[in-house]
Structure 1
Amino acid sequence: MRFVLDIDGTICFDGQKIEKAIVEALEALIEAGHTVVFASARPLRDIAPVIPRSLQHCAWIGGNGAFYQQDDIVETVAFDETTRNTLCVLLKRHNTAYLADGQWAYAYTGDKKHAIYAKIHKGDGAEQSLDVLQPLCKLVVFEPPTAFLDALSSLPVTVYTHHAERIVDISPQRTTKYDMLKRFYDEPFIVFGNDANDESLFRHAQVSVCVGNHAVGTLATKRIDVHDVAQVLHQLKEEYDGSDVQTTAR
């Protein structure tokens, strides 16, 4: 069986690492013949530091479906040039802080005390100005005004609103974690998630597990506490066949 796991708030609770018991449960899944795919809002650049060496070979879906990587295969979905230009105009017009992600580089104008900034992997040359960042694959906007949000409704984009963090996550149209997953893998799959950006996966999974008490849990086949993730992974390992063969890029 294929296991697809969100990262932050699902298997990583401090923004820095996956808990040891969960790592061991994921290693056990692979040993039993199951496939593990990480599917995060983070870009590939910021997924890398969180995944332990023993799991680095697993497939990564980043940017809510804007990125895919496994071994030498890298797939990127970016805003078209017209949409990119319109977004840049809106950011300047409303003087709105943002995190803009390319394939590896980024542009950031937000508060450096924000939790998102701590998750950015700040390698040499990774930070650029938005004017030169190419391609533009994902945009996080901090505390956007209503006029900015209204303008998004006429653009070919996918928008996730995170009310608690007062941010909106913007990706190219028809870019979701599930859209990227189905480019490379067939169903069925099991998903663990906790946020609105996991909804597309929850709607198509054979089993969907919501970690914590979140609104997306209304679509889940089961809800669990954050302390029970490793245990439930072990249970599902025994319940489902691990004989599927991992699919490569199609």
Structure 2
Amino acid sequence: MRFVFDLEGTISFHDEKVSDYLTDMLAFLCERGHEPIFVSSKSIRHMLTLLDKQFHNSKMVGGNGAVICYRGNIEQIVAFSTSMFSKLKELIQLFDATYLVESDWDYAYTGGVYHRVVNDVDPYKLAENHHLEDLSTIWKITILSASNRKEIIEKLRKLNVAVHLIDDGEMIEITPLGLSKWNALRTLGIQKRNYIAFGKDEEDVNVFDFAQYTILIGNNPALVAFADEQLIVDDRIEMKIVESCKRLSERFKLT
């Protein structure tokens, strides 16, 4: 059976690397013939920093479905069209915005050394910071500052893009419309009712909807109705995850 794990807050807590205890659990699943698959809202580059190297060739879905990686290679990316990216660059220039722009692997960052996201951009120096004009296949733009936040948000919402406000608009996240973790999993050959899903975010709803069995980590009302099992986050959460995985590894076979 395939075990699909949403990384952040599910098996990686406080944006720290997956613990040795849970890494051993993932290795146990592999030994039993199961396949761990990892999904995230973050970049593939960031996902690799959270996983032990033995899982770096696993199937991964980053950017809530924008990027697919398998065997260490970027296989597919859902990006802004050239015309849309041009419009977004015009707004960046108009409002003198600072930003973090994510491409398939590399990025463009202008937030300076003191912005709170700087330590999360590329902590292991796996990629390169390019000029915005030198990047292609852009799948996410995060506006870190702008001369007029209210006006840039209004103009962004008139475009055919998804706009998400972080911390009441302190940062503005922009992605292509229609991103879906489930669509990305289908591209990787995952079929309905052919996997077990662990998750916690609203973006996991369609992943839960098509799973054979679902485990909700925490208490997200958007996912409760789709969850077969719910694990409350406390001091025993990792132990409970391991217990669930061992039980489910016996119940379901790889298909």
TM-score by length of structure 2 reads: 0.82
Any conservation in 2 of the 1:12–1:18 contact (CA below 8 Å)?
A: yes
Any conservation in 1 of the 2:205–2:223 contact (CA below 8 Å)?
A: no
Gap regions ≥5 residues in structure 1: 245-250
Deviations 1:24-74 (A, max 9, x none): 111112222222111112212222222102222211111221111111562
- AA matched with 2:129: E
Q: Over aligned residue pairs, what C-alpha RMSD do you find? A: 2.7
Any conservation in 2 of the 1:139–1:170 contact (CA below 8 Å)?
A: yes
Residue 251 of structure 2 corresponds to residue 243 of structure 1: no
Any conservation in 2 of the 1:217–1:223 contact (CA below 8 Å)?
A: no
Counterpart of 1:139?
141
SS across alignment from 2:3 = strand
Residue 117 of structure 2 corresponds to residue 91 of structure 1: no
Counterpart of 1:248?
none
Any conservation in 1 of the 2:67–2:74 contact (CA below 8 Å)?
A: no
Counterpart of 1:182?
186
Counterpart of 1:9?
9
User: In terms of mean alpha carbon deviation, does 73-82 or 192-201 score higher?
Assistant: 192-201
Once residues 75 and 163 of structure 1 are traced to their aligned partners in structure 2, the CA distance between those partners, rounded to angstroms, is 30
Deviations 1:52-97 (A, max 9, x none): 0222221111122111111156212211011111111222223333
Once residues 124 and 56 of structure 1 are traced to their aligned partners in structure 2, the CA distance between those partners, rounded to angstroms, is 13
- AA matched with 2:232: I
Any conservation in 1 of the 2:37–2:58 contact (CA below 8 Å)?
A: yes
Counterpart of 2:152?
148
Work out the percentage of aligned pairs sharing the same amino acid: 25
Counterpart of 2:62?
62
Once residues 156 and 19 of structure 1 are traced to their aligned partners in structure 2, the CA distance between those partners, rounded to angstroms, is 40
In structure 2, relative to structure 1, the CA distance for the partners of 1:194 and 1:94 (3 Å cut) is farther
2:211 aligned residue (192, 205, 214) = 205
Once residues 115 and 13 of structure 2 are traced to their aligned partners in structure 1, the CA distance between those partners, rounded to angstroms, is 16
- AA matched with 1:176: S
TM-score by length of structure 1 reads: 0.83
Any conservation in 2 of the 1:211–1:225 contact (CA below 8 Å)?
A: yes
Any conservation in 1 of the 2:163–2:172 contact (CA below 8 Å)?
A: yes
In structure 2, relative to structure 1, the CA distance for the partners of 1:204 and 1:107 (3 Å cut) is same
- AA matched with 1:141: I
Shift in Å, 1:124? 6.9
In structure 2, relative to structure 1, the CA distance for the partners of 1:199 and 1:3 (3 Å cut) is same
Counterpart of 1:192?
198
Once residues 114 and 61 of structure 1 are traced to their aligned partners in structure 2, the CA distance between those partners, rounded to angstroms, is 27
Once residues 168 and 220 of structure 2 are traced to their aligned partners in structure 1, the CA distance between those partners, rounded to angstroms, is 12
Shift in Å, 1:233? 4.1
